[in-house]
Amino acid sequence: MKEIDEEQVSLAQKCDKEKTLQTQLADCEMEASRYCLTADCVLTTYDVLHRMNLTVDPCDDFWLYSCGGWLQDQPDLPADQESWGIEDEMEASLRRYISQRLTYDSPCSDDDMTTDCKMRLLYSRCIDTETIDSVGAKPLQDILDDFGGWSALGQYSVLSTPAIFVTVYTPWAIKKRASFIFEITLANMDRF
């Protein structure tokens, strides 16, 4: 009978343990390969789970189980809406973001009129309904008069056509910071 060396026993146990760990690792890798673990998948999974209420038994109230987390995050659902969902939430969030960007107060100079400045200026003038109501159609009438009038109003000059009006007016409006920008499509019926 051979005498068993303690060192050999220890090595054999380590080998067995390593084989067991390798088998378990292979099982875990195989199990993990069944699931998408990309950043997009993990974030989407988080989003879905966050919108659920896992404390509710799905057999008792499946709707609350599946949507309860979202309801907790939406304490002030709009009462004037017939329905409200994720798409509505995203649209409202986008509108808030755009509104914040457009109402951001930073000085704009005439020499350096950036696109952001032009958008903020246009937006501020569009929402200034008090001024719009007080001046009425006078700014439009003044511009029409400057370009020879408009035949629909009984005033028309052959010197300008609606095509010239639109082409000339648009850059002028941006340069002069007009309080309104609009598009008019007209046909000059007097020439046909």
What is d(CA 123, CA 136) in angstroms, rounded to the nearest whole number? 18
Phi, psi of 155 (to 5 degrees): -125, 120
The domain spans of the chain are 109-192
Is 146:160 a contact under the CB 8 Å cutoff? Answer: no
Please write the tens of the pLDDT for every residue from 153-180: 555 554 444 444 444 444 445 445 554 4
Helix axes 62-73, 39-51, angle to 10 degrees: 100
Please write the tens of the pLDDT for every residue from 108-154: 777 777 887 888 888 887 788 888 888 887 887 787 777 777 666 55
